[in-house]
Chain A
Amino acid sequence: MTATTDPSPAKPAPLITADTRAFWDACAQGVLTFQRCTACGHVQFPPRPFCVSCRADGPVTERSAGLGTVHSHTIVHRAPTPAFKADVPYILALVDFDEGFRLMAALRDCPPADARIDLRVRVVFEPMAGGGALPQVRPLLE
């Protein structure tokens, strides 16, 4: 529990499960995916083997265009763990992608003063130290 004395402050990698393996494999290829129910059309994230709206099995995986809108954001000045200390200040956002699902992501390449609700953003993929890629966002240049 003594994260402050951890000699190797590596950022935590996503703890991938059987539900999310395909999502992270797609991220590694630079593709953002979400699920849509074939029975009722409900869009959901994160992936799971059933629809939370109508309970039908087997929602299908679809490819997102990677465009979204900032629902809310914060500028983090105090890192939760030493692994993120070098990054502060960094912007975290909740992003509503156009297909109808929400993701948390860091808002990159954006001066803190320009961060705002309703900002249009595009997904970018950042390689992780241990392999794979993390979806983040940057302002969409019109």
Chain B
Amino acid sequence: MKPVIAGVADTAVGRLEGVSCMALHAEAAAAALADANLRPSDVDGVLCAYSLAEPHLMLSSVFNEYFGIAPSYSAAVQAGGATACALVMQAAALVRAGICRNVLAVCADNRLSGLGRGGAVAALAEVGHPQFERPYGMSIPAAYALVARRWMHERGTAPDDFARQLAAIAVTQRGHAHRHPNAQARDPLTMEQALSARMIADPLRLFDCCLVSDGGAAVVVSAVDAAADRSDRAVSILGYGQMNTHEHVFAMPSLTDFGCRQSAAQAFAMAGLTPSDIDVAEIYDSFTITLLAELESIGFFPKGEAGPAILDGALDLDGTLPCNTHGGLLSYAHSGAAGGMFHIVEAVRQLRGEADRRQVAGAETAFVHGDGGILSAHCSLILGRA
């Protein structure tokens, strides 16, 4: 049976004191089911991710028990920033195979109030190799900075030009977030502020790095006939793909070309589309360099042309590729796997024409991408107006 996205929802984001990780899951889940016009008892599949603040070996079972449902299919997936897209891909596959009719994919974490920014940075550094990275004091920004330096070197970009290209991403996305009433970081950001912010891991400065947030999001993937009464709002899943090339930065096959090339190629082939057919893109932006590098690796821009294009406004709402229109992980929010799910929620809102002041006029196709680890695990989705 053909799968569609029948409902999406997100919670408030930012610092949410006094709300547990599971309460965020339940809030997002209930709202997504209401958006899909489904009852909790209609759910026969549940897919969850992971939590840093309230970790558990079996998070999907924990969620089912807390939410008070007993789905026939349930699993938790841990693929870092690729998780949210991977959940939707898996949900679509479950529906396509006839195993489930209504799959609820839900992610949340309260890592800002639960861990604090410093605690979250330390917890995330744990993804470094326990022998060959962690003992050296590798932070996650440091790992991405290694990618950034090599990228700059191979593209032959002067350091000042490179800094301006990265800053333009942060500034563009802050502009998008300013138009989103719920975004965590809405204060205007200038190029000068971005370029003079304190250095985190050279060449990455403060605004090159994503936020740390509390928040949750959920997506309901249903068989098209199960979502028939809401078919005016359902969003088609036109294509998907994954690629996994390594885990650790010292084992990366390339610091300038990544698995997003293959995962996107799979998704585009399945959809019968090319990058030039995409109206709006929501692409993982854990760091500014993540987005810059992926835009070229996926094929949205020829080699060496993404940075200059971004400085010329390519990612603006009226640009050639409106991108991260909610503000992304840099300015909207980043609460773990839900961070990647905010990209999916935003893509669905764009396709439904519900993005208010951020609406990309006439958006009919959306590309969504998540990557986990150090550009290690990749999952791409292509969504379309039904």
Contacts and interface: CB of A to CB of B under 8 A. Distances in A.
Interface stretch (A32-40, A58-66, A84-92): A84-92
Contacts of B251: 102
Nearest to B111: A1
Interface string B242-253: 000000011100
Contacts of A71: 150, 255
B146 A94 contact: yes
B131 A104 contact: no
A4 B153 contact: no
Nearest to B145: A74
B304 interface: no
B224 to A, nearest CB: 42
Contact of A92 (B115, B121, B137, B198): B137
A134 B202 contact: no
Interface size class of B (residues with CB under 8 A): 35 or more
A106 B136 contact: yes
Contacts of B147: 72
A55 interface: no
A12 to B, nearest CB: 5
Contact of B122 (A16, A20, A80): A80
B201 interface: yes
B88 to A, nearest CB: 29
Interface in B128-167: 128, 130-142, 145-150, 153
A42 interface: no
Interface string B288-320: 000000000000000000000000000000000
B52 interface: yes
Contacts of B188: none
A12 B126 CA distance: 10
Contact of B149 (A24, A74, A78, A89): A74
Contacts of A41: none
Contacts of B149: 72-74, 117
A140 to B, nearest CB: 20
Given A77-B199, A78-B201, A15 B131 contact: yes
B104 interface: no
B123 interface: yes
A71 to B, nearest CB: 7
A71 B250 CA distance: 10
Contacts, number: 122
Interface in A26-64: 46
- B125, B128, B142, B249 — most chain A CB neighbours (10 Å): B142
A28 to B, nearest CB: 14
B139 A94 contact: no
Contacts of A75: 199, 201-202
B40 interface: no
A87 B142 CA distance: 14
Nearest to A71: B150
B246 to A, nearest CB: 11
A117 B155 CA distance: 13
Contact of A94 (B134, B198, B250): B250
Contacts of A128: 135
A104 B249 contact: yes
Interface in A64-113: 71-81, 83-84, 87, 89-90, 92, 94, 102-106, 112
A13 interface: yes
A3 interface: yes
Given A80-B121, A117-B149, A1 B52 contact: yes
A127 interface: no
A2 interface: yes
B275 interface: no
- B52, B118, B122, B137 — most chain A CB neighbours (10 Å): B137
A94 B249 CA distance: 9
B150 A134 contact: no
Contacts of A16: 131
A74 B202 contact: yes
Interface of A: 1-4, 11-17, 20, 24, 46, 71-81, 83-84, 87, 89-90, 92, 94, 102-106, 112, 117, 128, 134, 136
26 contacts: A1-B115, A2-B115, A3-B122, A12-B134, A14-B135, A71-B255, A72-B153, A73-B149, A74-B142, A74-B148, A74-B203, A77-B201, A78-B200, A79-B137, A79-B139, A80-B122, A80-B142, A81-B125, A83-B137, A92-B142, A94-B146, A94-B250, A102-B251, A103-B250, A134-B136, A136-B136
Closest 4 CB pairs of A and B: A74-B145, A80-B125, A80-B139, A3-B122
Given A79-B139, A92-B146, 10 more contacts: A1-B53, A1-B119, A12-B135, A15-B130, A72-B149, A76-B145, A77-B199, A94-B249, A104-B250, A134-B135
